[in-house]
Chain A
Amino acid sequence: MTTTAPSETGDATTTSASPRGTQIRLDGVTKDYGLSIPAVDRVTLSIEPGEFMTFLGPSGSGKTTTLNLIAGFETLSAGSIAFDRRDVGGLPPHRRNLGMLFQNYALFPHMTVAQNVAYPLRERRVSKSEITRRVGDVLELVQLTGRDNHYPSQLSGGQQQRVALARAIVFDPSALLLDEPLGALDRNLRAALQAEIRRIHREVGSTFVFVTHDQEEAMNLSDRIALFRDGRIEQVGTPEQLYRHPDTLFAARFLGDSNVFELDERVVGDRVGWDGRAWSVAPSTTSTAVSGESATAIVVRPEDLTIAASDADVPTGANAVSAVVRDVEFMGAYRAVTLGLGAADVTGTARLDALDARLGPGDRVVAWWSPARQRLVAA
């Protein structure tokens, strides 16, 4: 299959988006403000055409700076960025043909909804009738038909973000960059707009790059997640890969809850000791990125932890640890049990059936899991 490379600006007047979207390749991308560590440090990543890629990470991890480098709002200190194999390092933002969505919506307050949405088309000298048609179409896509003549201030936050979304996709950009677009919205609206963004991604089929610090949002939306830490990419993978197979303790802690058993002893063969117990650490439970030597902790998700009354109830082959129940919370769908694990009293969590009301604070139990569900991770 040959790659059809859409031309960057001339493309805007064609009526339909290129069906596959644009490939964005980052190669050794670095942004150094001259501080002790670079804001973005040698990031290499290929975002495939039509992919929904999320940059996830805590604040200050470099994810937004990386997005701004792609958009052209920041200049590269080193490395290169290419759209469909064409280097864009020297292109100013207005020549990159990217849609952008900001947390504060960035709607032009002195223009109506229709004028806002028409703005990128007018900048591309699209004909008047064509503008009218496309603005109508895209407002229908974001379900805002009939609001054409409202000013942004007359709309709710969710509606404003829909207008911004319409404005960002109306000119069939090479890719859509979304910078924490849901950060300012309340929880329910956020869920609704997440569904909206997912639907529009499906319908438009272009490449989406989404920045967030919300792991739940990242898991709900993404085809793949790039997890950022201190200006570098910690791990890239599908949400499931990152959740089930984190390479590092940071990744395990950032996505979802986990029980962390930090290892004091070296892994010997496929065994390791913890709190006087010998656990099986079969090589299959270790990611390829982590060797037995570099493993510093074992991670078990709460839903993989089972609580038994005593060691006699633990199946053979399972890894187990004695625990003290600290608290039981009824969560509706399940009961969340807070545990003190082992002699070191490491805080952990497990989930119990909602109907299981046997446990209470102070109970001494044994927590166990199948070695297949654990992960050995690096620091």
Chain B
Amino acid sequence: MPALALLSVILLVPLFSSLVRSLSSPTWTLDNYAHLFTDGVTLTVLGRTATTALIVTAVALLLGYPYAYLLTRVGPRARAVLLVVVLVPFWTSVMARNFAWLVLLQRGGPVSEAFAFLGMPDVVLSGTTSGVTIAMSQVLLPFMVLPLYSSLGGIDRRLLLAARGLGSSPIVAFWKIYWPLSRGGVVAGVILVFTLSLGFYVTPALIGSPQQSLVAQLLNQRTTQLLDFAGASALGIVVLVVTLLLVAWANRFGGTISAIGVVATSGEGTKR
């Protein structure tokens, strides 16, 4: 109960005051919202943010799924090493990691040097959306790998043997049995990474450029530089609603998935 009280004070009250401000200043109006869609900037930034988040999520999934699969297949010692590799970013400060990426990607840094070595001298990724995407994918990868690992680890591999015995090639067995059973972890990882990318601030602020800003930077700009608190509140509410809708959708989808998860574990439970 004290936790709930604390939560409502530090989270719900500011949230509610934001909502009120976005609707009530200067008078009771929806202008602040209407303005978001007409100012020519916000929609572009929202679109760019969503695209970046989608790409980051896709990259994280493409890298994270094989990695998590590998985690379930190796021996305990190799697994411990691989897990530490995933967790180290968690133990490192976000700022440190982002500055590391800045050093790597900036003009004259190792990455542009490598491109120069390959005969493409003008590739500088810092200050571009590509650079932001690369850095965000790395920073958010653990949020994909960990739920996937927990989901894949719970899949009974003997089901694959059974499918092989029933006439499926290894690829078909993976596609018809393993992949559907891993969907819960995929949904969890995708939602986690996507929603986190939507609100990412430090990486785009450090590595991106003001001309290519994402939503979080726009919010920061409106509050700290333009002092347009009502407009910033409205934008914040829009991002929040989009995120909540996504989570709700995932919960419905994930609900049926977790029912299957229970099925899988109960089948497992009767074994001994």
Which A residues lie at the B interface, using CB under 8 A? 9, 12, 71-73, 92-94, 97-100, 102-110, 119-120, 123-124, 151-153, 157, 160, 167-168, 171, 177, 184
Contact = CB atoms under 8 A, between A and B. Distances in A.
B228 interface: no
B172 interface: yes
Nearest to B169: A94
Where chain B touches its partner, the secondary structure class is: helix
A109 B182 CA distance: 12
A104 B158 contact: yes
28 contacts: A9-B167, A73-B164, A92-B164, A92-B169, A93-B164, A93-B165, A94-B166, A98-B165, A100-B161, A100-B166, A105-B267, A106-B161, A108-B159, A109-B181, A109-B263, A109-B267, A110-B181, A119-B163, A119-B166, A120-B166, A123-B166, A123-B167, A152-B267, A153-B263, A171-B166, A171-B167, A177-B165, A184-B272
Interface in B141-194: 156, 158-159, 161-169, 172-173, 176-177, 180-181
B267 A102 contact: no
Nearest first, the 9 closest Cβ-Cβ pairs linking A and B are A106-B162, A153-B263, A123-B167, A109-B263, A100-B165, A120-B166, A93-B164, A109-B264, A104-B271
B262 interface: yes
Given A104-B156, A104-B267, A153-B266, A109 B167 contact: no
A47 to B, nearest CB: 18
A94 B262 contact: no
Contacts, number: 87
A19 B203 CA distance: 70
A71 B165 contact: yes
B206 interface: no
Contact of A102 (B158, B169, B172, B181): B158
Contacts of B63: none
A120 B270 contact: no
Contacts of A94: 164-169, 173
A184 B266 CA distance: 13
Interface in B224-272: 260, 262-264, 266-268, 270-272
Contacts of B164: 72-73, 92-94
Query: By CB atoms of chain B within 10 A, which of A71, A97, A107, A119 has the most?
Result: A119
Nearest to B155: A109
Given A73-B161, A171-B167, A184-B271, A106 B156 contact: yes
Contact of B260 (A73, A109, A123): A109
B172 to A, nearest CB: 7
B270 A157 contact: yes
B158 A151 contact: no
A108 B177 contact: yes
A105 B165 CA distance: 13
A204 B268 CA distance: 30
B143 to A, nearest CB: 25
A153 B262 contact: yes
Query: By CB atoms of chain A within 10 A, which of B156, B167, B267, B272 has the most?
Result: B167
B168 A110 contact: no
Contacts of A103: 271
A123 B168 contact: yes
A93 B172 CA distance: 13
Contacts of A12: 167
A272 to B, nearest CB: 47
Contacts of A151: 263
A90 B272 CA distance: 34
Contacts of B176: 119
Given A103-B271, A109-B267, A124 B167 contact: yes
